[in-house]
Amino acid sequence: MITLVNKPHVSSDDPFDKPPCRGCSSYLVEPYIKCAECGPSPFLLCLQCFTRGYEYKKHQSDHKYEIMVKRAVCI
Query: How buried is 51 (Cβ within 10 angstroms: 0-12 exposed, 13-18 middle, 19+ buried)?
Result: exposed
What is the pLDDT at residue 27? 93
The Cα 12–Cα 25 span in angstroms is 20
13 confidence band (pLDDT: 50, 70, 90): low
Q: What is the pLDDT of residues 52-68, one digit of tens each?
A: 999 999 999 999 999 99
What is the predicted pLDDT for the residue at 18?
76
Q: Where are the alpha helices (DSSP H) in 1-75?
A: 47-51
Q: Please check the confidence at residue 11 and state whether its pLDDT lies above 60.
A: no
Can you tell me the distance from the alpha carbon of 43 to that of 35, in angstroms, rounded to the nearest whole number?
5
Rounded to two decimals, the pTM is 0.72
Domain definitions of the chain by residue range? 2-70
Residue 72 confidence class, pLDDT cut points 50, 70, 90: low
